[in-house]
Amino acid sequence: MNPTPSQTVGPFYGYALPIPRGGDLADGGITVHGYVYDGAGDRVPDALLEFWQADPSGSLKGAPGTLRRDQVSGELLGRHGVDFTGFGRVSTDADGHWTLRTLVPGTGYISVCVFARGLLHHLYTRIYLGRDAFLDSLPPERARTLVPVEEREGVHRFDIHLQGENETVFIDFG
């Protein structure tokens, strides 16, 4: 069947898609954070990032409950903190910054889906904390864009460049 085309997330998703503490998948693990940049090197304050990853054992089963609701008010409560849902959603702040607190995935990478005003069709990339055949197949200057820099123990910096000299490697899954 012919797919339904994508359209930009636009500027006004802010009261619909973000989740309270949407980037806090787990305590006691690692922090990954960074900025989203456009082709002029300016920070993008209206990007929405989604993260999907395996747990430390490598299981990609996930768990429901990322958008857990209060049964009385209908309010978004978010995860209860016991199950590892494997899914995160963070909008960049006014400075184009995002933060993810999570566990190191057993598969070695965190999958990222990028949405933004101005981006008509989302983009996929990966944050590599380990390495695999795909990462090794890339020329070193491109592979570098998928590997975060450890700023201090447990804190990793990963910037996403939508365009330009340091343009991030984006992936086509066909």
Partner 1 sequence: MTPPLTQADIDREIAELHRRAPAGGDRQAAQALRDFAPYRSSVLRHPKQPLVAIKDPEAGELTGPVFGVTDVAPFDSDLTRQHLGEPLGERITVQGRVLDRDGRPVRGQLVEIWQANASGRYLHQRDDHPAPLDPNFSGVGRCLTDDEGGYKFTTIKPGAYPWRNHVNAWRPAHIHFSVFGTAFTQRLVTQMYFPNDPLFPYDPVLNSVTDERARQRLICAYDHDLSVPEWTLGYRWDIVLDGPAATWMEEGR
- Of 10-39, binders to Fe ion (CB under 5 A) are 10
Among 62, 97, 147, 159, binds partner 1 (CB under 8 A): 62
Query: By C-beta, is 10 or 154 nearer to partner 1?
Result: 10
Partner from Fe ion, partner 1, none binding residue 143, C-beta < 5-8 Å depending on class = none
Torsion of CA 112, 123, 160, 62, to 10 degrees: -10
Burial class from Cβ neighbours inside 10 Å (0-12, 13-18, 19+) for residue 97 reads middle
Q: How far is the CB of 26 from partner 1 (least distance, A)?
A: 15
Backbone angles phi, psi at 146, to 5 degrees: -105, 0
Across 53-154, the runs of DSSP E, i.e. the strands, are 87-91, 97-102, 109-116, 123-128, 149-152
Residue with the closest Cβ to Fe ion?
10
Per-residue string for binding with partner 1, 88-117, x by CB under 8 A?
Answer: -----------------x-x-x-x-x-xxx
